Structure 1
């Protein structure tokens, strides 16, 4: 019986190899596990096998038979639903022994490491969003000269930390403490990029300044032999060479209980559904901390009063009080209840910008001196309504009146900005932006980066395993658990003319709005 069992298994192997799973007695559960096998089934299989062997020996079955079987097999294999490849994951492992050490089993490529499959990444085959073209512009100061070791070292004067990648590993040298935990979550973000695109970032080192305002002034580097230091930060302006990079809050702003961007996007998307646009409060809404900048204190003058109604509803946000009350008044998904929302910068650009634009409300964007990495891909009258900085109240009143008289257009502007946030600024594209920026930056290096003597190796485990409270939960929520299976979007080539046209188009749209506004007040004054 044992010998017959062995033969039956061999026959099953033959039949399944050619795709004949439905042969009598075959199928996924064949051979049957029960010891009481069907005598009839066993006899039929034995006789069939014996006849087959005789026919082959007599030469009555030749290679053509096997080719037919092979063809049949290929047809069946094609018709079968292919088994999806297993997606490898590398979650946090916070054991006592490795809480301060980086695991050595991180993927070194984006292929499936669990099954050791050499499966290439799937191409997105899509162009990157429009704001990606500014990567070339931000790196233009070093396009001709390249980046030397001396240039990087000179950026240390204002940097909070140096981030180094050598042979796919991350090292950090810290110089000073940043505001709150900006430095911690910025470093965390780059580590997630390395998990998202493992093994695909070249050796490099960068200096990062976590403060608000840019410091590498263009006017200080006008001579032929004066080369600016490459310094990364969250925002810049048209008079500076600072390189803009996604801010820490994309991975969570623990001090204000604002979750990672991927989670916030989902919450705001649900919040947008609660109130239809035309049923929202027909005024302009703003909530924030006015102490951080004079322009915000000036904005409060536009609040509704017994004397004036500038079509605004403005509220002071005290984060200290919010913390005491459990952040009940600062849920971002609950703040999409007005037709219009106001954006104004703080000491520099404001983190609030993306949360305001993500609402379906039309954003009334008070002209800002500073820009972050994505706002340069958005345009007036398409994604937001421009507001004069030096006459906010009259400008805001006109904007709301215009929107309430052109509800379809105002709603379309609000939805266009919201769609931009949901699609063009989803975390996949944030990582793609970081990927392209760092790769283009590394191409400019004139030397091979090495690990500084004072640097320590960092990874997700060495940061998250030692964290606690909100900090730990935000790290766990924003953790990249699996390498992406798609390649980055296609970076547009350097095109100075396209950038110039975009800048002029924005300026033209802003001038158009200002013309309408002037006419509005002229006509209103004539009536009085």
Structure 2
């Protein structure tokens, strides 16, 4: 069953629901890389350091506005030491920055080396903006699930919420969202630092033109981390039915034994459509999937990371219901194969959002502005606890080996002679504009759901 261009819905009616100002909001700046030693001054041993020159400030990407939303629960009260300490039971480590130096008090080890690469990223931020990061103190949790829930702090006797940094957020939770560790590499799965990966994804996109790619929806991953993913595997092609999805289980243990031959993300831009589905919570795979020029089919996420809240359905991706996966996927692929220009445009827009708005310079600038706004709310003077240890790029690199050290060295940031001028952050949302944004997204999702339901209703009538 295929659609014609005179099908029962009009693609353009969806696109006009997305303001032109959002569709055209893509700006980028050059990001240079030079060979430097680890401290970028001793030239006896070279490694790839990210460099930066003095530039005039430009506007930050729109998703920087969410910094203010994440900090809004403490806007009126500020952040007291009690609020910070109450998050300690959830945190893997405490980070203290005083006079440009970083100190870490470790409470427990998270899964794999998430904490190591997260702390490494913060150290690179300090290298990039010497003397410009304010003194601060924070608690960081490296786990997937959010833990501080809104319903726990409601009522007349409620206390102000504890303050915790995490990689993702949820509509029912209160936490501050921070870039995940994979921006500096995921050694356990051989995924290189994001700057290198993004360059590889751009190159991978050029190998096969969109119209020459497999006309199916592709997903590869571990289905056993959530019931939602296990349910997705029911949409795989079988001898009884073809939902137009090609789904593959990723066995990381086997991949390690075989030298990661079948898990190179830059080699997976081979299908016209790629599926994003959450794992235990949000998944780091989102940025890699969106960067592929394929039209991304996003199975409705429950969680969000620091950049995805500014993405628009039917502009950057096609929305899919978690409760109706197989039918929605087949409908999306059928539609895309018969509206290839429009489907390709969605894929390109999603990739452009990632490639231009998620460059490493913007990741660091997001961290810069987040720390700056967070520090403004502190109602106490940050202090170095007795159990904290000073950490630096040199001490971290010297403690690692293998892929871990390789990725660390590949993501070293050059300390600029003149500090990079950060982009200019956009103002906070006002309540009206924020509600309009949520409503617009919901309206588009509902419209796509109606189209899908009508498609299946008409198909059933013909059988």
The equivalent of 1:486 in structure 2 is: 420
The alpha carbon displacement at 1:128 in A equals: 1.4
Paired with 1:398 and 1:510, the residues of 2 have a C-alpha distance of: 14
The alpha carbon displacement at 1:485 in A equals: 5.0
Secondary structure of 1:342's match?
strand
Paired with 2:332 and 2:386, the residues of 1 have a C-alpha distance of: 56
Paired with 2:316 and 2:355, the residues of 1 have a C-alpha distance of: 13
Does residue 91 in structure 1 map to residue 23 in structure 2?
no
The alpha carbon displacement at 1:492 in A equals: 1.2
* Aligned ranges 1:153-164 → 2 under 5 Å: 153-164=85-96
The alpha carbon displacement at 1:223 in A equals: 3.4
Does residue 468 in structure 1 map to residue 401 in structure 2?
yes
1:259 counterpart (187, 192, 209) = 192
CA contact (8 A) 2:298 2:320 kept: yes
Paired with 2:428 and 2:256, the residues of 1 have a C-alpha distance of: 46
The equivalent of 1:166 in structure 2 is: 98
Paired with 1:122 and 1:275, the residues of 2 have a C-alpha distance of: 36
Secondary structure of 1:390's match?
helix
Paired with 2:419 and 2:310, the residues of 1 have a C-alpha distance of: 26
The equivalent of 1:278 in structure 2 is: 211
Deviation larger for 421-430 or 218-227: 218-227
Does residue 495 in structure 1 map to residue 429 in structure 2?
yes
Q: Please, what is the CA RMSD of the aligned residues?
A: 1.8
Paired with 1:503 and 1:246, the residues of 2 have a C-alpha distance of: 23
The equivalent of 2:295 in structure 1 is: 362
1:419 counterpart (352, 371, 375) = 352
TM-score (norm: length of structure 2)? 0.88
Paired with 2:300 and 2:150, the residues of 1 have a C-alpha distance of: 22
2:310 counterpart (377, 383, 400) = 377
Q: Spell out, residue by residue over 1:14-42, the C-alpha distance to the aligned partner (whole angstroms, 9 max, x if none).
A: xxxxxxxxxxxxxxxxxxxxxxxxxxxxx
TM-score (norm: length of structure 1)? 0.77
Paired with 1:381 and 1:111, the residues of 2 have a C-alpha distance of: 35
The equivalent of 1:203 in structure 2 is: 135
Secondary structure of 1:391's match?
helix
Paired with 2:267 and 2:39, the residues of 1 have a C-alpha distance of: 36
Paired with 2:419 and 2:393, the residues of 1 have a C-alpha distance of: 20
CA contact (8 A) 1:89 1:482 kept: no
CA contact (8 A) 1:129 1:377 kept: no
Paired with 2:281 and 2:376, the residues of 1 have a C-alpha distance of: 30
Does residue 232 in structure 1 map to residue 165 in structure 2?
yes
2:321 counterpart (371, 375, 388) = 388
The equivalent of 2:23 in structure 1 is: none
2:153 counterpart (180, 198, 221) = 221
* Aligned ranges 1:29-40 → 2 under 5 Å: none
Q: Spell out, residue by residue over 1:61-119, the C-alpha distance to the aligned partner (whole angstroms, 9 max, x if none).
A: xxxxxxxxxxxxxxxxxxxxxxxxxx99973259xxxxxxxxxxxxxxx999xxxxxxx
The equivalent of 1:139 in structure 2 is: 71
Unaligned runs of at least 5 residues, structure 2: 1-32, 41-50
Runs of 4+ aligned residues of structure 1 deviating over 3 Å after TM superposition are: 87-91
Q: Spell out, residue by residue over 1:478-518, the C-alpha distance to the aligned partner (whole angstroms, 9 max, x if none).
A: 10023375311111112223222211111111111111111
The equivalent of 1:324 in structure 2 is: 257
Paired with 1:88 and 1:444, the residues of 2 have a C-alpha distance of: 37
CA contact (8 A) 2:39 2:414 kept: no
Q: Which has more strand, going by share of residues?
A: 2
- TM-aligned CA distance change 1:260 to 1:486, over 3 Å: same
Unaligned runs of at least 5 residues, structure 1: 1-86, 95-109, 113-120
The equivalent of 1:130 in structure 2 is: 62
2:107 counterpart (175, 182, 185) = 175
The structure whose RCO (Cα within 8 Å, separation 6+) is larger is 2
* Aligned ranges 1:101-120 → 2 under 5 Å: none
Q: Spell out, residue by residue over 1:248-270, the C-alpha distance to the aligned partner (whole angstroms, 9 max, x if none).
A: 00000000000000000000100
- TM-aligned CA distance change 1:319 to 1:89, over 3 Å: closer
Which structure is larger by alpha-carbon Rg, 1 or 2? 1
Secondary structure of 2:201's match?
helix
CA contact (8 A) 2:129 2:420 kept: no
The equivalent of 1:504 in structure 2 is: 439
The equivalent of 1:67 in structure 2 is: none
